[in-house]
Chain A
Amino acid sequence: AQSVTQLDSQVPVFEEAPVELRCNYSSSVSVYLFWYVQYPNQGLQLLLKYLSGSTLVKGINGFEAEFNKSQTSFHLRKPSVHISDTAEYFCAVSETIQGAQKLVFGQGTRLTINP
Chain B
Amino acid sequence: DTAVSQTPKYLVTQMGNDKSIKCEQNLGHDTMYWYKQDSKKFLKIMFSYNNKELIINETVPNRFSPKSPDKAHLNLHINSLELGDSAVYFCASSQGTGPHNEQFFGPGTRLTVL
**Residues in chain A within 8 A of chain B (CB atoms):** 30, 32, 34, 36, 38, 41-46, 49, 51, 88, 90, 94-103, 105, 107-108, 110
How many A-B residue pairs have C-beta atoms within 8 angstroms? Tell me. Answer: 73
A32-B100, A96-B99, A108-B41 are known contacts. Are A101 and B108 too (CB-CB below 8 A)?
no
Interface residues, chain B, CB within 8 Å of chain A?
4, 31, 40-45, 48, 50, 55-56, 90, 92, 94, 96-108
The 4 A-B pairs of least Cβ separation, nearest first, read A43-B105, A94-B99, A100-B55, A44-B105
Contacts of A38 in B (CB 8 A): 41
27 A-B residue pairs with CB within 8 Å:
A38-B41, A42-B107, A43-B108, A44-B43, A44-B90, A44-B92, A44-B105, A46-B103, A49-B102, A90-B43, A94-B100, A94-B101, A96-B97, A96-B98, A96-B99, A98-B56, A100-B31, A100-B55, A101-B31, A101-B48, A101-B97, A101-B99, A101-B101, A102-B45, A102-B56, A103-B45, A108-B43
Secondary structure type dominating chain A contacts? strand
Distance of A101 Cα from B41 Cα, bound (Å): 21
A12 smallest CB distance to B (angstroms): 17
Q: Which residues of A contact B55 (CB under 8 A)?
A: 98-100
- The distance in angstroms between the C-alpha atoms of A99 and B99, with both chains bound, is 9
